[in-house]
Amino acid sequence: MSVIYKITNKINGKIYVGKSDLFEDEFFKSNYYGSGKLIKPAIKKYGIDNFTREIVDFANDEDGLNEKEKYWIMTCNSKVPNGYNIADGGTGGATRGVGWHQSDKTKEKISQKALGRKNSPEHIEKTRLGNLGKIPWNKGKTGVYSEEARKAMSLARKGKTSWNKGKAGTYSEQARKNMSAGQLGQKQSKETIEKRRLKNLGKKRTEEWKKQTSDRMKIENKKRILENKHNWWKGGITPLRGKIYQSFQWRQWRTNIFQRDNYICQKCKQKGGSLEVHHIKLFALILQENNIKTLEQAIQCEELWNINNGITLCLECHKKTDNYRGKGLKKRR
């Protein structure tokens, strides 16, 4: 399942539409804002805070993705000089965070042409007003898109809703602890951790305690966002795991499993939706047993890329597994 995303310049209203083979949550966790020749310098010029990032559509295959990219570039009027898209879309593969699949020569030509055209201030203002006042391009489009695409569009329309808003349980308890420890900038000693663990064992977590903790987390998360945006996107994943998740091998492994399972949750048989790959043998355990410390070592590790160790599950079924997002590790301690 790949996504079509839309990046909007909050100052001049200019839009960039792109495609990515990342999943929705991965997309928002990444700091990927597109690899187009115009959007990159624009982000540099205006600053990342002056852009919004939304998912507008999904596709299951390359052809669908290309069709939808064309559609959104057209309806968002995001082609240069009105927006940041250089081409009509629909060519090349989904971006894997590395760039377009056009030849470098073609890219260079198009980009030079686009960059050579300077917009007058009047034109910029016209574009901005035009884009701001436009009737939503997806209005009245019911029936054209699948259920999940409509959900995504509804989310996108709301503009500022973050992908993890209201999604309690997005992070495991351990991940949240990691984030919290990271925020505080402290390394906790084994003794401290053990002491707290023993203390927590005896503590009945009342509703009030839970609420207090949740409020504190909210404040801490806000602080963290201000302090370090980059780390926030990684959401408690260790740097090595983050690197692995970004790798081509990882996506290939996941795609192979999805394809083998025909994009169907192997437990409840739901097709499509929020699908994930569940590790039969714990991911962290494979890293540990093979003494993997670097991405290079991970790529060399055959066990890690064995597709028999992965199974397609929907998010709900995945959450019920006993090693979902570090649950298994906690048990082992």
* Of 100-108, 154-162, 202-210, 270-278: span binding Zn ion (CB under 5 A): 270-278
- Beta pairing, strands 51-59 & 275-279: unpaired
Query: Nearer to Zn ion by C-beta: 127 or 312?
Result: 312
- CB 20 to Zn ion: min, Å: 24
Query: Nearer to Zn ion by C-beta: 235 or 272?
Result: 272
Query: Nearer to Zn ion by C-beta: 256 or 321?
Result: 321
Q: Is 277 an interacting residue with respect to Zn ion (CB under 5 A)?
A: no
- CB 276 to Zn ion: min, Å: 10
* Of 107-115, 205-213, 280-288, 307-315: span binding Zn ion (CB under 5 A): 307-315
- Residue from 267, 279, 281, 327 that binds Zn ion (CB under 5 A)? 267
Query: Nearer to Zn ion by C-beta: 66 or 270?
Result: 270
Residue 155's closest CA among 315, 25, 40, 51? 25
Number of residues that bind Zn ion (CB under 5 A): 6
Q: Is 271 an interacting residue with respect to Zn ion (CB under 5 A)?
A: no
Q: Is 48 an interacting residue with respect to Zn ion (CB under 5 A)?
A: no
- CB 324 to Zn ion: min, Å: 12
- Residue from 42, 265, 301, 304 that binds Zn ion (CB under 5 A)? 265
Q: Is 15 an interacting residue with respect to Zn ion (CB under 5 A)?
A: no
Backbone angles phi, psi at 135, to 5 degrees: -65, 135
- Residue from 9, 314, 324, 325 that binds Zn ion (CB under 5 A)? 314
- Contacts (Cβ under 8 Å, ≥6 apart) of 157: 136, 138
The dihedral through the CA atoms of 268, 271, 273, 276 has a sign that is positive
Structural contact between residues 30 and 53, judged by C-beta atoms closer than 8 angstroms: no
Query: Nearer to Zn ion by C-beta: 25 or 67?
Result: 25
Calculate the alpha carbon distances from 222 to 125, 131, 159 in Å.
Answer: 33, 31, 19
With residue 310 as reference, give the H or E element that holds it.
strand 310-314
Q: Where are the alpha helices (DSSP H) in the chain?
A: 24-29, 39-46, 62-75, 104-116, 121-133, 147-157, 173-184, 190-201, 207-227, 229-234, 239-246, 248-260, 283-289, 295-300, 315-320, 327-332
Q: Is 268 an interacting residue with respect to Zn ion (CB under 5 A)?
A: yes
- CB 267 to Zn ion: min, Å: 5
Counting Cα atoms < 13 Å in the Cβ hemisphere of 312 gives: 23
* Of 5-13, 174-182, 201-209, 268-276: span binding Zn ion (CB under 5 A): 268-276
- Residue from 317, 324, 325, 326 that binds Zn ion (CB under 5 A)? 317
Query: Nearer to Zn ion by C-beta: 119 or 170?
Result: 170
Rounded Cα distance, 329 and 12, in Å: 48
Query: Nearer to Zn ion by C-beta: 243 or 279?
Result: 279
Contacts with Zn ion, 92-131, as mask; x by CB under 5 A? ----------------------------------------
| Residue reference for tokens 């499509």 | 272
Backbone angles phi, psi at 280, to 5 degrees: -70, -50
Q: Is 243 an interacting residue with respect to Zn ion (CB under 5 A)?
A: no
Query: Nearer to Zn ion by C-beta: 156 or 317?
Result: 317
Structural contact between residues 19 and 73, judged by C-beta atoms closer than 8 angstroms: no
Calculate the alpha carbon distances from 148 to 1, 8, 58, 88, 154 in Å.
Answer: 11, 22, 7, 25, 10
- Beta pairing, strands 275-279 & 2-9: unpaired
- CB 268 to Zn ion: min, Å: 3
Contact positions vs Zn ion (CB under 5 A): 265, 267-268, 270, 314, 317
